[in-house]
Amino acid sequence: MGLQATARTDWWSRAHPALAADEAALAAEAVLVDHWRKHEAHGTPETLLKAGRVQQGALARLFMNGHLSIDQLAWAQEIRVVVERIGRDVAIGSLSLETRVDNGFSGHRLAEESLGRVRAEMAYTRWRGQLRKPAPVLAMVAEDRACRAVAQAFRMRDAAARALLLDALDLWPDCCGWARDRVDEDDLVAVRRRLA
């Protein structure tokens, strides 16, 4: 647009502010609808607009910036699931006097655990035991805190925090392999028989 065209548009916008605002809104909506037509299988224009403003988690941002591989991001998610599951298992629940009086817990809940769950928790225990500095790594993986915030909290450089994270995530597949080699379905059946 030339200088004269810009001056004419500015004059018109000042002379007709309501019409100029309507026109600007229509132009913005046209851009959104055009974008939606290209991606209509993924949602409505409003959904796409909101998704464009969503802030991803700290680990997802590290992946998007090329600091984590897709495998490392997946391993971090696996670890987070195990941590959350363990946290739920030890959380304080409601109290039932009947179960305390008649000793109602007899290990049935433990017997219902799947082989995958047992292996994942064994892998997590081994993984956590091998970490040089577990607190900062768990803050980044389990709490999804940013490397910079963790580095500041634990008085280290950003690069050192990121290196700790990468080393820790690369340990996870080895720990999973170790757990897979240690426990099989027969071991789980034997434990269930002892508890019954």
Q: Are residues 74 and 145 in the same domain?
A: yes
Q: Are residues 111 and 28 in the same domain?
A: no
Q: Are residues 40 and 66 in the same domain?
A: no
Domain for residue 1, yes or no? no
Give residue 100's pLDDT.
Answer: 47
Query: Whole domain around residue 102: which residue ranges?
Result: 58-195
Exposure class string for 6-40: b at 16+ Cβ within 10 A, else e: eeeeeeeeeeeeeeeeeeeeeeeeeebeeebeeee
Angle at the Cα of 70 (from 149 to 156), degrees rounded to 5? 25
Domain for residue 155, yes or no? yes
pLDDT tens per residue across span 142-165: 999 999 999 999 999 999 999 999
Give residue 111's pLDDT.
Answer: 44
Q: Are residues 45 and 122 in the same domain?
A: no
Each of the 196 residues of the chain gets a pLDDT tens digit; together they read 455 555 556 777 788 788 888 787 777 777 766 665 665 556 676 776 676 666 678 998 898 889 999 999 999 999 999 999 888 876 665 555 555 444 554 444 554 457 788 888 999 999 999 999 999 999 999 999 999 999 999 999 999 999 999 999 999 999 999 988 888 777 777 767 776 6
Q: How many domains does the chain have?
A: 2
Give residue 37's pLDDT.
Answer: 64
- The string of DSSP letters for 69-129 reads -HHHHHHHHHHHHHHHHHHHHHS-----HHHHHTT---SHHHHT--HHHHHHHHHHHHHHH
Q: Are residues 39 and 92 in the same domain?
A: no
pLDDT tens per residue across span 94-112: 555 555 444 554 444 554 4
Give residue 108's pLDDT.
Answer: 47
Q: Which class for 161: exposed (0-12), middle (13-18), buried (19 or more C-beta within 10 A)?
A: buried
Q: How far apart are CA 22 and CA 13, in angstroms?
A: 11
Q: Are residues 18 and 66 in the same domain?
A: no
Contact present, 32 and 48 (Cβ < 8 Å): yes
Give residue 39's pLDDT.
Answer: 57
> pTM of this prediction?
0.61
